[in-house]
Amino acid sequence: EQLHLLDERYVVLLRHDHPLADSLPDRAALQALDFVLVASHVEPAKALRLLGLEPRIRLTLPHFHVAPSILESSDLAVVMPRRPALRFAARHALQVVEPDLGLPPFSVSIHWTWRAASDPGHQWLRSVVRAMSRMSTPLKKMPERWAC
């Protein structure tokens, strides 16, 4: 079984004063950037390859969490999902640029087996995840009603 949480799209994240940030209206302009590739997301890697940008990959990371520190101190850029990119930009000296990457939007869902469908703990967890996915801002403190 599954529960659809949200729809997402990929954007480019780079430092706020990147010299090329204002000149990225389309895919062709991406040729001037050097990229970080995040191995846990296959679609950006496919897009970079299809756009002929694979030779522009300078660094590969296992996940997005270390990318902000690297992007802040370099001219590298990363293709990543929009929501975490906006969060990173709000907390670091970074900006989100949304050129047409030629990537389709994607869905984020949670999945579970039929064996877990009736489990009270699993039902609770799904309700918390569902509620959090509907929030417009990140959760700062877990509400008391969600406590175990």
| 69-84 tens-digit pLDDT | 999 999 999 998 899 9
Helix (H, G, I), strand (E, B) or coil at 13: strand
Cα atoms in the 13 Å half-sphere on the side-chain side of 33: 34
| 82-93 tens-digit pLDDT | 999 999 999 999
CB contact burial 114-141 (16+ within 10 A = b; e otherwise): eeeeeeeeeeeebeeeeeeeeeeeeeee
| 12-49 tens-digit pLDDT | 999 999 988 888 877 778 889 999 999 888 888 887 88
Q: How many CB atoms lie within 10 A of CB 86?
A: 15
Report pLDDT for 147. Answer: 43
Report pLDDT for 138. Answer: 47
108 DSSP 8-state letter:
E
Report pLDDT for 6. Answer: 86
**Residue 20, CA distances (Å) to 14, 45, 53, 84 in order:** 9, 21, 16, 21
Q: Calculate the average pLDDT of the chain.
A: 86
Report pLDDT for 146. Answer: 43
What's the predicted TM-score (pTM) here? 0.78
The edge-to-edge listing of strands for the beta sheet with 94-97 is 57-61, 34-38, 76-81, 10-15, 94-97
Confidence of residue 140 (pLDDT cuts 50, 70, 90): very low
Confidence of residue 136 (pLDDT cuts 50, 70, 90): low
Report pLDDT for 29. Answer: 83
State the burial class of residue 145 (Cβ atoms within 10 Å of its Cβ: 0-12, 13-18, 19+): exposed
Q: How many CB atoms lie within 10 A of CB 71?
A: 24
